[in-house]
Structure 1
């Protein structure tokens, strides 16, 4: 039997089906607080959807250490083989709205939270190891091209390829996006990547730079373009349904957590040899130069009880790291360290860390007080920090890590034309077997056939520079669609 209905303040409701009115036919009474509260709450049930990663799925699980990496980091979650840490993950599409289809051609967000004894570590990444841009100042412009045209309110291939054709740094990710991996078969059959370069610090205060990889144990599986379109019509929540059902039946998805590791000296030598900036998000570290090192296993084994409370209100940020971890000079990462937390403050609220899905599993002590939804407001504890003018201490950035070296004067540096944006995109293309190359050509030709000759020619020039066969293949696919571009 269901418990009796009450107001949000716990007051019993006499009648939940009939409003108080002046007579059977008369107007309603303002004094009917239950009616007013019910309508007011209904009007406010939706928090603003995320500008990016609006549609997502989430689940809880565990991370288990399988290999010793304590020589690289003093972070306690890695302190012993077999140690387990509670986790949460939110998968998502990137460009679509909350009601969009799970099978759209789009990168997939792969944001993992580790509830460690030293605070929450959020590894906020994607299912691709690279991204479209290398400087966060371009991010709002790029995302606007993936959203809707301000005049027509329609998705616009012209906006997309106008941006991409003028930003050759995007070619590596564009090649991945329009390959078969642009439409993964659900969330369980794709890899995850931290994408950015981060750092780890050991007990001796030594820093190494790292890239995080989560390799699916289920195997990579992708949808053909035709199947992705068909499923979008038949079951737009395909990936959500697949994840929930798999966990409900005990078929827990797992990923092998792995690392690429390099010292600053090794990265300097690699950069001198290749000409690539190791902190450039549009580039990857080749596995032949920096092999994968196993760390542990990430498993999802518990669905959320309430989607809104636990998945929609999940608020992750790459700024959330724990002692034994650090950042890097990656310009996109530096921008995201501000942008993600700021977005959560706007979207969920100033005390979003108090919500259960966002709350640390360890004691929290700070001087933050008040504001909306101050669930844990510190009681009578002191709400200010005692000032002790003891002079600066040589503690690097806080937890014993060495200071981050700076190179060059403060300025706005434009790398366009001076950096190689083509070799790695060409390498990715050359790894593809013939059928996957043909799929890439066809997937690109579809939206490109809808844009102007000027934009097509500009984009074809980038394909040609990556690999002549790349440009030739897209030309042939465009010709098959009636666009003969020479």
Structure 2
């Protein structure tokens, strides 16, 4: 007798997608070779990330708590005494005669819209440049590395960091349960649990594009580039004790500080630095330069100052500007391009998809999001379409292209197209040069003594509530980063479990000095 089909072909704990298909590889997107680029037919990834984008309404799934301000960017036009046009034809960098309007949104990442701004969390640093060629969004963080390198893991990571779906209470054990299975996260954890994990405010905070992007010049030649915003006001971070003291009286301190400084006329400034390297695999390095969990150390890849950013105007309405502003890593102007960084390519789909869901299909018509230049598109309709300029500059009957009787025409290419050569088998694999522990250990050693003390104290405090197998796995990872790192965390956990004071194992700094320069 033929066996009847049932829904119990697989055990209840076998991971499937929402169609019930078993997921055989939940760690890597499908790419050309192990470095990418990513292919569009990543069905499981697209389904997973597009569902994740729609998990919260109307609050942002991440970066819900934010503050923002208007200002401008001024390019210096040169890099290391050479014209920037040698590397990019983007007018925002090559035209020094204009000040490009900008809007910046600062944010915390994991917590909700009214959460305290003193919590240990990465900070968003997203800049919308209203350039003469249209909008450019640089969607970054204060920290220069990230937890993961494959976008398939992003929903899992955020779920682990968010409150328990049953109790609605955030639990460090959930976070470390995920992280102890992601060794590439040790570098970000080292930064996050040091004082760098709680910036003093937004004005004294760095910004970074995190990913490697590309610059493209007139000849179509590309270079890899990383962006770094350095506050002219200086850098300042908080110890956990200082953060606790501020939070006890003011959970809006960073938003208030930014708003009041601009109101007083003390306009915050940042210098923009870039690192530029040849666009290839750089086999001489012990890591992949596209890996977002890694730094390009400035002693090997110098920082070059290319411009300044100034904030000089507060929002007139928080909701219409700060809340409705919408960023996307795919929003690039001519002369700027993507790299094959898998996480960057995953974000490029996710961010704009989220905005269409969260704000609406016509979110780019809102004043805070629309370009400062004329828009001419055949895209129309959808909820809240309120354009009124149809037909003024084109035949209103022709909403398609090409046409012999009117309508919009293709623009001329302002330079040679960048045409990277891509060849390889489609794979679901991690990159070949992971080196998950090298830079995490180096960052640990580059921290000041008091920063290391804070790091160990904060890690011990968070890990103390976790079960022993998670603690042991994390100690194993820290030890591979640096023997002293792992030893100090292990000693702190042992003393905490014995109920003793941790003063000997974890020496807390009584007085904070200047921050280190771990870059």
What TM-score comes out, normalization by structure 1 length?
0.85
**The one of 65, 74, 77 aligned to 2:89:** 74
**Map of 1:276 onto structure 2:** 287
- Paired with 1:384 and 1:371, the residues of 2 have a C-alpha distance of 17
SS in 2 for 1:63: strand
Encode CA deviations 1:413-454: one digit per residue, 9 max, x unaligned. 1349x6210000001000012111110000101110000000
Encode CA deviations 1:304-360: one digit per residue, 9 max, x unaligned. 000000010000111100001100000000001100000000100000000000010
**Map of 2:260 onto structure 1:** 245
**The one of 282, 296, 303 aligned to 2:307:** 296
Encode CA deviations 1:359-397: one digit per residue, 9 max, x unaligned. 100011111111111121552333222269xxxxxx9x9
Number of residue pairs the alignment of both structures matches: 428
**Map of 1:286 onto structure 2:** 297
Q: 1:146 to 1:387 in 2, by over 3 A?
A: farther
Are 1:442 and 2:457 matched, yes or no? Answer: yes
Are 1:100 and 2:115 matched, yes or no? Answer: yes
**The one of 428, 431, 436 aligned to 1:412:** 428
Cα pair 1:89 1:113 within 8 Å, conserved: yes
Cα pair 1:53 1:93 within 8 Å, conserved: yes
Cα pair 1:111 1:126 within 8 Å, conserved: yes
Q: 1:209 to 1:104 in 2, by over 3 A?
A: same
Cα pair 2:76 2:93 within 8 Å, conserved: no
**Map of 1:470 onto structure 2:** 485
Cα pair 1:135 1:332 within 8 Å, conserved: yes
Cα pair 1:369 1:377 within 8 Å, conserved: no
SS in 1 for 2:140: strand
Larger radius of gyration: 1
- Paired with 1:229 and 1:308, the residues of 2 have a C-alpha distance of 28
Q: Mapping of 1:129-168 within 5 angstroms?
A: 129-168=144-183
**Map of 2:70 onto structure 1:** 60
Structure 1 residue 180: Cα displacement: 0.5
Cα pair 1:180 1:440 within 8 Å, conserved: yes
**The one of 319, 331, 335 aligned to 2:342:** 331
- Paired with 1:66 and 1:427, the residues of 2 have a C-alpha distance of 33
- Paired with 1:398 and 1:81, the residues of 2 have a C-alpha distance of 18
Encode CA deviations 1:54-87: one digit per residue, 9 max, x unaligned. 0000000010112421111111122233531000
- Paired with 1:462 and 1:398, the residues of 2 have a C-alpha distance of 49
Structure 1 residue 228: Cα displacement: 1.0
- Paired with 2:399 and 2:113, the residues of 1 have a C-alpha distance of 39
Q: Mapping of 1:28-427 within 5 angstroms?
A: 48-68=58-78, 69-265=84-280, 268-269=281-282, 272-376=283-387, 378-380=389-391, 381=396, 382-386=398-402, 400-415=416-431, 419-427=434-442
- Paired with 2:329 and 2:359, the residues of 1 have a C-alpha distance of 17
Encode CA deviations 1:98-156: one digit per residue, 9 max, x unaligned. 01101100000000011001000000000011100001000000000110111211001
- Paired with 1:483 and 1:329, the residues of 2 have a C-alpha distance of 49
Structure 1 residue 275: Cα displacement: 2.5
Q: 1:378 to 1:227 in 2, by over 3 A?
A: same
Structure 1 residue 232: Cα displacement: 2.0
Structure 1 residue 482: Cα displacement: 2.5
Cα pair 2:218 2:415 within 8 Å, conserved: no
- Paired with 1:483 and 1:106, the residues of 2 have a C-alpha distance of 29
| Structure 2: 5+ residue stretches without partners | 1-55, 79-83, 405-410, 500-519
Whose relative contact order is higher, 1 or 2, with alpha carbons under 8 Å and at least 6 apart?
2
- Paired with 1:233 and 1:469, the residues of 2 have a C-alpha distance of 34
Which stretch shifts more, 371-380 or 447-456? 371-380
**Map of 1:21 onto structure 2:** none
